[in-house]
Structures are given as structure tokens and as C-alpha cells.
């Protein structure tokens, strides 16, 4: 697994996201013509290097999965730029995006819902090769057998259907399909959250092995911060459609600057919950609705360190050194 200093030395930028936004318009009701706006992703910017693993973390409703789908153009952005391999694909049409699918793939959260129940496992993994006209029929069959073996499945299962597999096995099939074209980028959207803990470790190790073998960059979307620490080079923390902190993984875990990040890290389970030095930061209430965004800092309604100015000022992402940025007007106090 490449650590942060290694990928900086040997790779360059693969993906650049600039002021990306996705707003959904929703009706208030059948008797109203007024439409309200859901600010699902509300102006985020980041870069992803070749071979790098960047994790997006945050509570449900923070915009992580929407961000992943925007990057792959499964959703059309409202504003902003998506630059992939030096090309602005923000307004790319279906024909161009079909060509780019060879270089960018996705692993979905639910391994069963993402697999066609009417297709055999062999057909599912072979489909991307057929769509992009890669190899002869025999070469494709050989490649499918090879891919299944790489993800820990016996090639003899090619004629079986998804319902005949366990959740972990189905996710392995999804991973085999995602790497079949040897893409440069994979968006992994909560790829292990639906699996048992013992299976999660196996799948994470598999992803790390495939990343190293095929030199794939991952945008890894997750809730489990223990997993994030194992697999990531950098971590971006999202809250209510915004990135509130971004840093290299060990820097973020050792020196979190945003109160939201501090709260998330404090909630990570530890083997000894009776430790005297352990303080869990409790957040009041749920994440606000992306329709009614709080004024000022979006986190101030739940922040244990809120001061009156937080209600007035929208904090920008500020550089605190060591490639560590955070959006909090009080971060200097504990930086």
C-alpha cells in the first residue's frame, strides 16, 4: 500500500474537482408551484493523484455518495468542473463518457442490487470486456477466469447466478467486474458496510492488493474510520455538502482541527472503553436538512465549541501546513 510521501514522489494528478455542485429541485407539494433546492454537494474542490486512495467520510446525508456519482457522470453536475486525465469532462456527452468508462469504474455498496440476477457470474464479469470490444470470446473467458481467481473465487463458479453466493462473494464479483478493464480510477461507495466484520477485512485486503497490482486510484467512501485509516493516503471530511477538513491520513487522525472531525474520531471504538484519557464528544441532534442550510458555519447548530461569530461567518478552507486544510474560525486555537 502506497503511503502519502510515496505517492507524492512517484505520481501526478489524475482527477481534479473544482467547485463542484449538485442541487436537486423538489416540489413542496401538489398544491404548490414553489420548488425548493436540496444542496446535496455545494462547492467542493480536491485533487486525486495516480495510485492514491482518497477517502470521503462523514455522516449519512453529507454528500459523499453524490460526489462519487458526479465524478463518474452518473449524475450531471449543477456547476463546477471535473477534470480527469487532463480533460474537462464536466459537459462530456454519452459517447465520450462511454469511452472513458474504460478508465473509471464503481463498486457499489449493495453487492446484490448491483448484479443482474438474470446473468451468470461469468457474464457479469465479461460484460465490460464485450461492451468495449476487448479480446476474442476465448480470451475474454480466460480473462474472466483469471479475474475471479484474483478476487478469491474458483473460476468454476462462472455458470452460477448471484443469488447462489454469500454477500462477501457477491462483492468479490462486483470487484472483479470493476477491475476487468484495468481502470485508472475506481469509486468505492461503502464497499464493505453491508458485510460481516470478518469479511470486511478480507475485502479491504483484496482492494489493497488490486490497487498495488493494477496501479488504481480509489475514491473510497466510508463510515468506518478504522477501515479508512488502513486503506487511505488522504482523508476528506464532508459535512452537509462541504469538505470541512482534508489532510494526509496520519496527520488527520493525530491532529484533527475541525470540531466535527474531532467528534467523529472520538467515537471510534477502542478495545478498552474504560481508558481514563478517552473523551467521547457527543453531537446534539441530527445533521440538518440540505434544503434548509444553517447560516454561517454549517456545523454551528451541533458544534460543542461554537461561539456567536460562528453563526455569521462562513469559514473558508484554510491551510495549516503539512497539506492540512480545515474550515473553522477557531482551528488556530488548537492547531
**CA 6 – CA 331 distance, rounded (Å):** 28
Distance set, CA 285 to CA 59, 147, 252, 302, 304 (Å): 12, 45, 25, 7, 12
Does residue 288 surpass a pLDDT of 60?
A: yes
Does residue 7 surpass a pLDDT of 50?
A: no
Helix %, strand %, coil % of the chain (to 5): 35, 20, 45
Does residue 1 surpass a pLDDT of 60?
A: no
Q: What is the pLDDT of residue 5?
A: 46
For the chain, give the percent of residues with pLDDT over 90: 80
Does residue 142 surpass a pLDDT of 80?
A: yes
**CA 177 – CA 148 distance, rounded (Å):** 9
pLDDT band at 310 (very low <50, low <70, confident <90, very high): very high
Structure-model confidence comparison of residues 8 and 118, the more confident one: 118
Q: What is the pLDDT of residue 274?
A: 65
pLDDT band at 66 (very low <50, low <70, confident <90, very high): very high
pTM of the predicted model, to two decimals? 0.91
Out of 82-96, 122-136, 278-292, 309-323, which region has the weakest mean confidence (pLDDT)? 278-292
Does residue 129 surpass a pLDDT of 60?
A: yes
Does residue 62 surpass a pLDDT of 70?
A: yes
User: Is the separation of the CB atoms in 198 and 204 below 8 Å?
Assistant: no
Residue 228 falls in which region: left (phi positive, over 0), alpha (psi -120 to 50) or beta: alpha
Q: What is the pLDDT of residue 10?
A: 41
Q: What is the pLDDT of residue 282?
A: 80
Does residue 69 surpass a pLDDT of 90?
A: yes
Stretch 102-116: mean pLDDT, rounded? Answer: 91
Q: What is the pLDDT of residue 3?
A: 43
Half-sphere exposure of 216 (CA within 13 A, CB side): 28
**CA 78 – CA 21 distance, rounded (Å):** 5
Pairing verdict, β 185-189 and 217-222: parallel
* DSSP state, residue 84: E
Residue-range domains of the chain with CATH? 4-103+183-333 (3.40.50.300), 110-182 (no CATH)
Dump pLDDT digits (tens) for 37-52. 999 999 999 999 999 9
Backbone angles phi, psi at 73, to 5 degrees: 60, 30
Stretch 92-109: mean pLDDT, rounded? Answer: 93
What rounded mean pLDDT belongs to the chain?
A: 91
Dump pLDDT digits (tens) for 8-24. 444 489 999 999 999 99
Angle at 235 between CA 184 and CA 277, to 5 degrees: 150
Amino acid at each position: 500500500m502506497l503511503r502519502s510521501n510515496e505517492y507524492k514522489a512517484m505520481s501526478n494528478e489524475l482527477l481534479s474537482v473544482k467547485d463542484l455542485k449538485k442541487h436537486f429541485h423538489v416540489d413542496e407539494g401538489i398544491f404548490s408551484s414553489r420548488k425548493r433546492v436540496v444542496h446535496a454537494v455545494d462547492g467542493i474542490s480536491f485533487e486525486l493523484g495516480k495510485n492514491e486512495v482518497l477517502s470521503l467520510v462523514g455522516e449519512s446525508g453529507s454528500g459523499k455518495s453524490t460526489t462519487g456519482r458526479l465524478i463518474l457522470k452518473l449524475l450531471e453536475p449543477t456547476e463546477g468542473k471535473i477534470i480527469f486525465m487532463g480533460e474537462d469532462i464536466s459537459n462530456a456527452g454519452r459517447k465520450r463518457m462511454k469511452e472513458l468508462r474504460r478508465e473509471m469504474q464503481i463498486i457499489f455498496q449493495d453487492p446484490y442490487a448491483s448484479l443482474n440476477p438474470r446473468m451468470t457470474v461469468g457474464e457479469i464479469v465479461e460484460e465490460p470486456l464485450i461492451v468495449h470490444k476487448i479480446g476474442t470470446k476465448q480470451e475474454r473467458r480466460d480473462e474472466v477466469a483469471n479475474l475471479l481467481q484474483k478476487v478469491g473465487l474458483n473460476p468454476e463458479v462462472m455458470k452460477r447466478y448471484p443469488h447462489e453466493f454469500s454477500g462477501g462473494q457477491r462483492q468479490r464479483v462486483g470487484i472483479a467486474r470493476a477491475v476487468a478493464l484495468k481502470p485508472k480510477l475506481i469509486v468505492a461507495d461503502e464497499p464493505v458496510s453491508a458485510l460481516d466484520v470478518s469479511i470486511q477485512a478480507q475485502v479491504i485486503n483484496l482492494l489493497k492488493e488490486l490497487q498495488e497490482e493494477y496501479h488504481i486510484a480509489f475514491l473510497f467512501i466510508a463510515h468506518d474510520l478504522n477501515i479508512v485509516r488502513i486503506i487511505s493516503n488522504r482523508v476528506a471530511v464532508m459535512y452537509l455538502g462541504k469538505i470541512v477538513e482534508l489532510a494526509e491520513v496520519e496527520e488527520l487522525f493525530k491532529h484533527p482541527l475541525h470540531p466535527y472531525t474531532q467528534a467523529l474520531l472520538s467515537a471510534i471504538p477502542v478495545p478498552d472503553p474504560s481508558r481514563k484519557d478517552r473523551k467521547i464528544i457527543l453531537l446534539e441532534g441530527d445533521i440538518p436538512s440540505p434544503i434548509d442550510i444553517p447560516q454561517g458555519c454549517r456545523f454551528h447548530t451541533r458544534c460543542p465549541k461554537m461561539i456567536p461569530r460562528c453563526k455569521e461567518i462562513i469559514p473558508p478552507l484554510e491551510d495549516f501546513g503539512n497539506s492540512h486544510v480545515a474550515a473553522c474560525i477557531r482551528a488556530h486555537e488548537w492547531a
